[in-house]
Amino acid sequence: MPQLSPTILYADDALIVADKPAGLLSVPAGGEGRQDCLAGRVQALYSDALIVHRLDMATSGLVLLARGPEMLRRLSLAFEQRIIGKHYIALVHGHLASDAGEIALPLGDDPDNRPRQIVDPLRGRRALTRYRVISRSGAGNNAVSRVELRPVTGRTHQLRVHLMSIGHAIIGDPLYAPPESAARYPRMHLHAAGLALIHPQTRVPACFESAVPF
């Protein structure tokens, strides 16, 4: 599937920044024909590449990979300490009432519907997303908002569940949007557009951007 080839935006002796297309797994998954993934494709070019964080298969955009275990350790620690900043762009159903805000709802597994996640006030893990509305368009069933999202925590499906839970599911989301949304749109409209970090070797700040494909 050459159309799923990632683009290498940057590479040096410490790290690699790849731009993942929607539809490509970040890492191998169980099951027939689910071994093709971003990590494997980058490792074909850089044998010591190790993935630092993941994007959902349906999400496109920037993914950080480390060159070797020591860089993986440093970059993973930077993620844990929230030194690495990420922002996403999404198109969502409806018009958000506020121009900016926070969604703080704890998330956990939906035991009856894996891999879905649910808001779970009792057993869920803390999850926080900050959002800013970039634009609003359309009306009624065609009302759409373009939003910038900054996840403070990194829970599974966090952005997707948080937006759905406030009534603004991401357009084309196969798990959390209404079925007609996924049927109408060929992809989920969520893109990891920006990555900011302190380089683990040079200690110089670095910023990477990826053009939003929708």
Residue 28: is its pLDDT beyond 80? yes
Average pLDDT over residues 80-92: 94
Average pLDDT over residues 28-53: 91
Cα-Cα-Cα-Cα dihedral sign, residues 163, 164, 169, 173: positive
Q: State the pLDDT at residue 180.
A: 95
Active site residues: 56
Average pLDDT over residues 20-46: 90
Asked if residues 90 and 149 have their Cβ atoms less than 8 Å apart, the reply is: yes
Residue 2: is its pLDDT beyond 60? no
pLDDT digits (tens, 9 = 90+) for 143-190: 999 999 999 999 999 999 999 999 999 999 999 999 999 999 999 999
Rounded to 5 degrees, φ, ψ at 98 are -100, 145
Residue 1: is its pLDDT beyond 80? no
Lowest mean pLDDT among 32-36, 114-118, 157-161, 206-210: 32-36
Provide CB contacts within 8 A for 113, sequence distance 6+.
none
